[in-house]
Amino acid sequence: MSDQIDRLVEAAMSLNDPPEIDPAQDAVPAVQAPAAELAAESPRILVVDDDDGFRTMIRDWLADEGITDIEEANNGADAVKMAPEISPDLILMDVRMPRMNGIEAAERIREILPAVQIVMLSGYEDTVLREAGEKAGLYAYLVKGCAPDVLWRTIRFALNSQAKR
């Protein structure tokens, strides 16, 4: 399991490195697309967490990264209900929540929407939870507080993988 995670992080870290700039050239290549272009291509992301502050932080961070189509749920049961209605490309979900935990919600969502990618964001580095998530069909299991670039690369990698399904 640890080898899979290491390979995932390694693969994610190799994605979309910024272009090298030759100081001898006058022109500097564009690194980001214009905001209108990003909005037109924005994937739909569902953020599921019972902590309002954490959901707001993730939503605002995603918006800063150019993601404009963001939906929210505060527990697994609401996520299961919302998922088929909004057809997200990616779900960022907590593990421990009231009404229904993230593992059970992921299993139910994967039955309804098998192509959706689900990234678990947990406050716990727990092997049992990680293995349960793997069985539930999670794309990745990350611990809250991981480096933003790791989360961003995981999101991009998951979306790229989802597009190929």
Res. 129: pLDDT tops 90: no
Res. 27: pLDDT tops 80: no
Q: What are phi and psi of 119, to 5 degrees?
A: -110, 120
**Phi-psi group of 137: left, alpha or beta (phi > 0 → left; psi -120 to 50 → alpha; rest → beta):** left
Distance CA 45, CA 87 (A): 9
Q: Model confidence over 101-119: pLDDT tens digits?
A: 999 999 999 999 999 999 9
pLDDT at 163: 62
Distance CA 121, CA 114 (A): 20
Q: Which of 138, 146, 100 minimizes the C-alpha distance to 118?
A: 138
**Mean pLDDT of the 61-74 span:** 94
Lay out the sheet containing 140-143: strands in order across. 69-73, 44-48, 90-93, 117-122, 140-143
pLDDT at 16: 45
User: Which CATH superfamily does the domain covering 35-163 fall into?
Assistant: Response regulator (3.40.50.2300)
Residue ranges per domain, the chain? 35-163
pLDDT at 161: 83
What mean pLDDT value characterizes the chain? 79
